[in-house]
Amino acid sequence: MKSIAQSIGVVLWMVLAGCGGPSGFSVEDHRLVDLSYTFDETTLYWPTDQRFFHNRVAWGLTPGGYWYSSYQYGGSEHGGTHLDAPIHFGEGRRTVDELPVDQLIAPGVVIDIAKQCETDPDYLLSVADLETHEREQDAIAPGSIVLVRTGWGRFWPDAKQYLGSDTPGDTANLHFPGVSPEAARLLAERRVALVGIDTASIDRGASRDFQAHQVFGAANIGCLENVAHLDQLPAQGFTIIALPMKIGQGSGAPCRVVALVRR
């Protein structure tokens, strides 16, 4: 945990200072990748959830002669690029505001299953996929943020292609890849910090019991969903900064996810 905390300090110092960091770290040695979708009228949500709204309250010059604009916003916790807190499917587990920062900023790993998903929209990340990744790369270290790339980001924001159905309220005909319960248990055993995916859910669209959610919730592991631009990341060698809106007792929250990638 000490090394993770030191990494967090270095990353935040670099990002906030906008210049070379301590101990030889330099922003010039990295590139930033925004892994978040914009919240607007096109943002995709679970078919039964309240969609994002952003209503104008004020816009223009005031009687005093100065500019003023203000909006009201709202929507489900679980839409767009967002974080599922463990309590979402884990009774008594951490809420959004209870997640420690060192679980939200950590070394990242991308598991790429896009090829498998090309021919199977219901594909599940398997233990074999994880083992193949570890043979070809490094072992998945405790405290890592693991991101699963299915290639589904290419369909955003087309609800029909991304979700499998564009009918409001229809959850019976959803089709997109996810994580198998066996792979979820292995990642939990690896004691990863977070698990993310470039689809609408850690569980595939056809799931009815959301077993991967249950596994991660029980292990106090948060999930990032609708993560963007995973095709711009390497398999390893980067840091993820995933900072959700700090909603008290929240089961989830919109999240700005950024990758700091070593050049």
Q: Which helix (H) or strand (E) holds 240?
A: strand 238-244
Give the pLDDT confidence score for residue 130 in this predicted structure. 98
The set of catalytic residues is 88
| Nearest alpha-carbon partner for 230 in 79, 4, 37 | 37
**Residue 108 belongs to domain with CATH number:** 3.50.30.50
- Quick check: is 150 in a domain? yes
* Domain encompassing residue 209: 28-262
Q: What is the pLDDT of residues 31-53, one digit of tens each?
A: 999 999 999 999 999 999 999 99
Q: pLDDT per position in the chain (263 positions), as tens? A: 444 445 555 555 544 444 444 455 566 788 999 999 999 999 999 999 999 999 999 999 999 999 999 999 999 999 999 999 999 999 999 999 999 999 999 999 999 999 999 999 999 999 999 999 999 999 999 999 999 999 999 999 999 999 999 999 999 999 999 999 999 999 999 999 999 999 999 999 999 999 999 999 999 999 999 999 999 999 999 999 999 999 999 999 999 999 999 98
pTM of the model: 0.91
pLDDT for position 11: 55
Positive or negative, the CA dihedral 78, 206, 258, 90 is positive
How crowded is residue 60: how many other Cβ atoms within 10 Å of its Cβ? 7
Answer yes or no: is 3 within a domain: no
pLDDT at 219: 98
Identify any residues that bridge with 256 across adjacent strands, giving them in sequence order: 243
CA atoms within 13 A on the CB side of 85: 24
Residues 6+ apart with CB under 8 A from 24: none
Asked if residue 205 is part of any domain, the answer here is: yes
Count of domains forming the chain: 1
Task: Spell out the residues 6+ positions from residue 60 whose beta carbon is closer than 8 angstroms to its own.
Answer: 67, 68, 69
